[in-house]
Amino acid sequence: MDIEEIRTFIEVAKCCNFSKAADVLHIVQSTVSNRMKSLEEYMGEQLLIRDKTGIRLTPAGKMFLNYAKQIQTLNENALKDIHMVSTYEDCLNIASVQWIFSYTLESMLTEFSKIHPKIATNLIIAHSEEIIPMLQNQVYDVALISYKIDNANLHSIPFCKTKILFVGAADQYSAYKQGISKEQLRNLPLIYSDIWQNYLSYVSDNFLPESKTFLIHCNMLDSAKKFCKAGIGCCFLPEIMIRNELNEGTLIHIPISGLTIKYMNIYFVYNKKKLNSIALQEWFKMYPELKRQIDKHSKI
């Protein structure tokens, strides 16, 4: 098994087609086939099934895909670190989900880079489910996510708390600014994002009928926000990412009768084995409250 076989497998899984994967990788289709055959022989398992509809992963292939992505990232980070040694003192490997990066982390990283020009930054934007195993395997040093994780290798530090507000475009839903009933909620066009699964199951179970169909389904909060601003439907969003729109009056908060406002916690999660790195030491020095929480945890 080599890194080119790993890269090819990831691309085949993405394209579901040998020919398309070959085009993306700028190789011939026979090379793709040979690499997949070699990989399956090494694994001792069938990873792919070819049929009239294209390529699909076997259960073993689906499991291996997660590891393949980690191997590829480790390879890329190793090359970056090796090339970095002669120029920089260290590298901060940091990950975040998109919306948290846009509304909190981006300005923090900009300030950090200005203060520490000899520390390189390797930033990854991904879903929390992809970030967590990478943290566990020391691919990333620290991450900013909305999950609290504490185990033998990882520790979470509370960073901030934000309300989850039900909002709509002001020019479409201004009549609901004073609030709506459960019945009115059921009749509104709703935009679904992954925040529902983790924070709003109570709303689905107690305020919406089982047959309720969402107008828009998306797995990115930034996308849900864009649909909401366009007046297509209403959505639950973290207050921290819509403050400007609420202040400008383009979005309005729509209270729901009988529903207590929920909160979302955001955490810095770091790998304990990386805590002595120059980059991570300097990162937490910039934020004394976070550093105090680390020191407090280390004494327990």
What pLDDT, in 10s, does the model give residues 18-58? 989 999 989 998 999 999 999 999 989 999 998 877 888 99
Q: Please give the average per-residue pLDDT across 80-93, as a whole number.
A: 77
- pLDDT above 70 (res 251): yes
- pLDDT above 70 (res 200): yes
Query: What is the rounded distance in angstroms from the CA atom of residue 232 to the CA atom of residue 215?
Result: 8
pLDDT of residue 210: 75
Specify the CATH number for 161-263; select among 3.30.530.80, 3.30.930.10, 3.30.1370.60, 3.40.190.290. 3.40.190.290
Kindly report the number of other CB atoms within 10 A of residue 291's CB atom.
15
**Residue 239, Cβ density class (10 Å: 0-12 exposed, 13-18 middle, ≥19 buried):** middle
- Band of the pLDDT at 298, cuts 50, 70, 90? low
- CB-hemisphere CA count at 13 Å for 25? 25
Domain spanning 87-160+265-297, CATH class: alpha beta
Residue 222's Cα: distance from chain center in Å?
12
pLDDT of residue 252: 97
- Per CATH, the number for 3-70 is 1.10.10.10
Q: Which two tokens stand for residue 193?
A: 């994002």
Domain ranges of the chain: 3-70, 87-160+265-297, 161-263
Q: What is the pLDDT of residues 107-151, one digit of tens each?
A: 999 999 999 999 989 898 988 888 888 888 888 889 999 888 888
pTM of the predicted model over 0.85: no
Q: Where are the beta strands (DSSP E) in the chain?
A: 48-51, 54-57, 90-96, 119-125, 142-145, 154-169, 191-192, 216-217, 235-238, 251-253, 262-271
Q: Residues 298, 178: contact at Cβ < 8 Å? A: no
Q: What is the pLDDT of residues 91-119, one digit of tens each?
A: 899 999 889 998 889 999 999 999 999 99
- Tell me, yes or no, if the two domains 87-160+265-297 and 161-263 fold the same way: yes
